[in-house]
Each structure stands twice: as structure tokens, then as C-alpha cells.
Chain A
């Protein structure tokens, strides 16, 4: 299968600071990427997506950056809040077919 991984398994940030979660992928043919948030005991929830013809996309307090040259994806969360504490996954997809997920990064927000 595809290799989608995360550099940091756990990230601790202070409430109000910005968070950056990174992800590396190996399939250069992947053309669609998604970030998911998973809270304890729940299924993953969509946060933001980006297609390969873009290098940046912004949502509400979140920004995804895509660097196809080095096959790297990042999720930036502005003014991190306690409710942002969760596990974050990146996922890649080729031709709207199968999604492959990374192993996840746990985000801890300290009050």
C-alpha cells in the first residue's frame, strides 16, 4: 500500500498558540489529500482537503499546505483551543479511489 506517515506522534501546545502538524506521503500520483480529526471514541471527522493543483488552502482557523516537490503536507491550526485536542490524520487519494491514512499525531492543548 501507499506510505503516508507523520513526523511527530505527539504534539503539545499552549492554548492560544498556533499548531503545525506534518505529514509525508510517498505516492507522487496522489492527487487529493485530506486532514481528519478524531476524538476519543468517535470516527474521523473531515477538517480540510486540498487537490494537487493547489499548494495552499484555508478554512476557518485551519490552513493546509501541500509541497509536491518533497511530498509533504502540513496542517496549521491558528489560536489552538482545548477543543482542538485530538488525533489528527492525513490521508491521500489517487483518482478518487482508495484513501490511505497516516498513523496519526496526537495534539495536546495545555490550558
Chain B
């Protein structure tokens, strides 16, 4: 999977709690992305990063924040999880061309 590791792979959390998902890459790619995947919506971009400490919002960024303090790690934080954030989350990396995806994190907010 192109040297991408997402953790955890599965998580169940309660409404109102903070959650952090981690994406780790060993490819030294510049660009990193967080997507969520829901039935009927395909993959929707949450946030992306174009370098260390350089991030920008995607199309569904409300309720999420990100940080990239090192090239290899891109963290996605749900400040206060809601049931609408139950989803499968995918991290992707790119050098500017094709994007390579991780295996996904299934998050359930109860």
C-alpha cells in the first residue's frame, strides 16, 4: 500500500469525545490528504497538506482539524465527535501526480 499506515483501523467512540486519526507514510511524499467515504457520496476531501505545517481545507472540513508537524505524519482530529462523522476515513499521499491510498479507518460515533 505504497508505505501508508493508518491507525487505528477501527474505532468506536462516544458523541462529544475528541478523536485523532493518524496517517503515517514512509515515501517522503509532499502531499497528504484525508478523505471520508460514505454510501452515495463517494470520497470527499476533508483536508489536505502540501508540506510540513502547510494545510488547507477540503469540501467537508467543518468539525475537523489537521496537523502536519513532520513530513511523514498527517493527523486528523475530530474535536467533538458527532454521529454524522461515522464514516470510513482514508488517507492518501501524492508527489503531485497519482494519489496512493491507505487501507482506511472505520470510525463509529455512538
Chain A residues at the B interface, C-beta cutoff of 8 Å:
1, 32, 34, 36, 41-46, 49, 89, 91, 96-104
Residues of chain B contacted by A49 (CB below 8 angstroms): 97-98
Whether B43 pairs with A96 at a CB distance below 8 angstroms is: no
- CB neighbours (8 Å) of A34 from chain B are 98-99
| Chain B residues proximal to chain A, CB less than 8 Å | 1, 31, 33, 35, 40-45, 48, 50, 58-59, 90, 92, 94, 96-104
By a CB distance below 8 angstroms, the chain A residues around B96 are 96
Task: Give chain B residues whose Cβ lies under 8 Å from the Cβ of A45.
Answer: 101
* Assembly CA distance A104 to B18 (angstroms): 31
What would 18 more interface pairs be, CB under 8 Å, given A91-B99, A101-B35?
A1-B45, A1-B59, A34-B99, A43-B104, A46-B100, A49-B97, A49-B98, A89-B42, A96-B31, A97-B48, A97-B50, A98-B48, A99-B92, A100-B59, A101-B42, A101-B43, A101-B44, A103-B42
Let me know if A99 and B97 touch, CB within 8 A.
no
Nearest neighbor of B41 in chain A, beta-carbon distance: A103
- Can you pick out 8 interface pairs between chain A and chain B where the beta carbons lie within 8 Å of each other? A41-B104, A43-B1, A89-B42, A91-B99, A97-B50, A98-B33, A98-B48, A99-B94
Tell me the smallest distance from the CB of B36 to a CB of chain A, in Å: 11
Task: Given A1-B45, A103-B40, check contact A42 B103 (CB 8 Å).
Answer: yes
Complex CA distance for A9 and B63, rounded to whole angstroms = 29
With A1-B58, A49-B97, A98-B48 as given contacts, are A89 and B43 in contact (CB-CB < 8 Å)? yes
Knowing A1-B45, A44-B43, A104-B42 touch, does A99 contact B101 (C-beta < 8 A)? no
Minimum CB–CB distance from A96 to chain B (whole Å) comes to 4
Are B42 and A96 in touch, CB under 8 angstroms? Answer: no
Residues of A within 8 A of B31 (CB): 96
Chain B residues, Cβ within 8 Å of A99:
33, 45, 92, 94, 99
